[in-house]
Amino acid sequence: MLNVNRNFINRFNKAVAAAEAFVFLIDFEGKKPILFKRDEAATKGLWFQTPEYTNSPVETMILQKSAGIKSKPVSIDYYQKAFDLVQKHLKNGDTYLLNLTMPSRIETNLTLKQIYQRAQAPYKILFRDEFVCYTPESFIKTEGNTIMTYPMKGTINADMPNAENHLLSDKKETYEHHTIVDLLRNDLAQVATGIEVRKFKYIDVIQTNTGKLLQMSSEISGVLPSGWRKHAAEMFLKLLPAGSVSGAPKKKTLEIIQSAEKTDRGYYTGIFGYYDGHNFDTAVLIRFIEKKGARLYYHSGGGITALSRLTDEYQELKQKIYVPIN
């Protein structure tokens, strides 16, 4: 369970009890949770879009001829130090799957606002001039007393020959996906009953500025107790950080992540959520560009298992540096 300040929890539960629409951000470490009423979010500098709702103003965009992004990832030698540390813990049985991430310096001809406006993704978030996120990964949805989660694990270049079959049959990707599905089933069992995998290993196509990627997801559901809204904040905190961006077993894996990455992730791999007064729709904050001073950093990574190979994982980190613009 993620620990956040009591004031945030109280505000969250009070808004749910009053059936007030609101949006919220919870960072990976739980140090900087934010909650805004839906109608004040834009004035506070938070623009967002879900598949069903957006608070983004309709504006005329200055279209660029093309969307360019140049990246300077960490060196493979730097990445290897963290990778080797994770492999040591894997061999010791301390973790079975760990999501290892790194920030890469980037340059782009678009502002964060322009990226937000032009990116094609189910969920988009722009927070002031601090970060933009265009994430394909849903986290938790509720419909009445039904709760659903959608772990996403497994990525491949769609241009590869027979790419979908290759992704579905790859031993490392299969193990990684099975592990995360099992972790998320166990996580949901903390707050719900009747846990079932509704869809298993379905493929999403992600359009990027450099081509298409295939990503593998599953859908897991359960039934919440009738009074769950009274403790909605606590329910979410029991499920955080999200399993797909941490690993298994979660507690020990989080300790290893801190040692390997050497810095807090902040809002990257935290969650964004929208409550419409009845149901929640939330997403994992991946595909994330952060502004620090005058510099931009793109955060990316992937799941590491005992079957992982250094060059493959380093390539995946670089492959995920993209803007989903045609």
Question: What pLDDT score does 61 carry?
Answer: 56
**Domain, as residue range, for 18:** 6-319
- Please report whether residue 252 resides in a domain: yes
Question: What pLDDT score does 209 carry?
Answer: 59
- Please report whether residue 1 resides in a domain: no
Burial 90-107 (b: 16+ CB within 10 A, else e): beeeebbbbbbbbbbebe
Q: Whole-model pTM?
A: 0.91
- Please report whether residue 326 resides in a domain: no
* Distance from C-alpha of 150 to C-alpha of 168, rounded to nearest angstrom: 17
Phi-psi region of 211 (alpha: psi -120 to 50; beta: other; left: phi over 0): left
Question: How many distinct structural domains can be found in the chain?
Answer: 1
- Please report whether residue 23 resides in a domain: yes
Average confidence (pLDDT) per 10 residues, the chain, 326 residues: 92 98 98 97 97 83 66 96 98 96 94 91 96 94 96 76 78 84 94 93 72 83 96 96 94 97 97 98 97 96 94 93 77
- Please report whether residue 167 resides in a domain: yes
Q: What is the CATH number of the domain that holds 117?
A: 3.60.120.10
- Please report whether residue 324 resides in a domain: no
Which residue(s) pair with 132 in the sheet? 126, 289
- Please report whether residue 22 resides in a domain: yes
